[in-house]
Amino acid sequence: GKFKEEILPIALPSKKGEQTLFDTDEGPRDPDLQALAKLKPVFKEGGVVTAGNSSKISDGASALVVMSKEKAEALGIKPLAKVVAQATAGVQLEDVLIAPIYCIPKVLKKAGLTIQEIDLFEINEAFSATTVAIIKTLGIDREKVNVHGGAVALGHPIGASGARVLTTLLYAMKNRGVQRGLASLCLGGAEAVSLIVERTD
């Protein structure tokens, strides 16, 4: 459904020599709310983080092609979007999961934009609690965040999350007919990166 445009089907050989077309993400879960309510906290007694609101580590791959406007025109390629601004932020290690709180304002300032001028946000979601903290702290409209589900629903492919987050944002912008999006994620090493993109059509 919603992810078909951003998935490249791959033919996989089976043991019998036939090929199977792998074209559906296995990450999305079908949650049972009663079962989720019974899960125990994973980090501390009385905590809110459970296996049910944490992303699972997934196998996955993602790729993007980035080039200048001039090169795209020379090759006859129509870009999905243009990069407006990019920013990074470093934080204390214990704050790594909420590092986008420090990075998002930086990229907005570089672009001369406000939170309200962003149509969609894609924020990597290792844990739902951290995404909620980012949304509340920065005053982001939650209806604009991870509109097709975050990493808790989709999975967290190590080494591919940044490209996956941006790809999902670009296609969500296209499918909803909106112009401006912001992608942000925390990184190993207590950092965060944020990127603002605008559709070019």
pLDDT digits (tens, 9 = 90+) for 108-129: 999 999 999 999 999 999 899 9
User: Per residue in 43-97, pLDDT tens?
Assistant: 888 888 988 888 887 888 899 999 999 999 999 999 999 999 999 999 999 888 8
Q: What is the mean pLDDT of the chain?
A: 91
Residue 145 pLDDT: 98
- Domains within the chain, CATH numbers bracketed: 4-54 (no CATH), 69-199 (3.40.47.10)
The pLDDT-based confidence of 29 (bands split at 50, 70, 90) is low
In sequence order, what are the residues at sequence separation of 6 or more whose Cβ sits closer than 8 angstroms to the Cβ of residue 164? 60, 62, 154, 157
| pLDDT higher than 70, residue 10 | yes
pLDDT at 21 over 90: no
Q: Cα separation of 13 and 182, whole Å?
A: 38
**How long is the chain?**
201
Q: SS3 of 145, please? A: strand
Chain centroid to CA 166: how far? 6
* Lowest-pLDDT range of 1-5, 27-31, 142-146, 181-185: 27-31
- pLDDT higher for 146 or 27? 146
pLDDT above 90 for 32: no
Instruction: Give residues with Cβ within 8 angstroms of 1, minimum separation 6.
Output: none
Q: Which two tokens stand for residue 19?
A: 């090929």
Give the integer Cα–Cα distance in Å for 174 and 20.
Answer: 30
Give me Rg for the CA atoms of the chain. 18
Question: Which percentage of the chain shows pLDDT scores above 70?
Answer: 99
Neighbour tally for 121: CB within 10 Å: 26
Please report the DSSP string for 54-114 in residue order. BPPEE----------HHHHHHHT---SEEEEEEEEEE--GGGGGGTHHHHHHHHHHHHT--
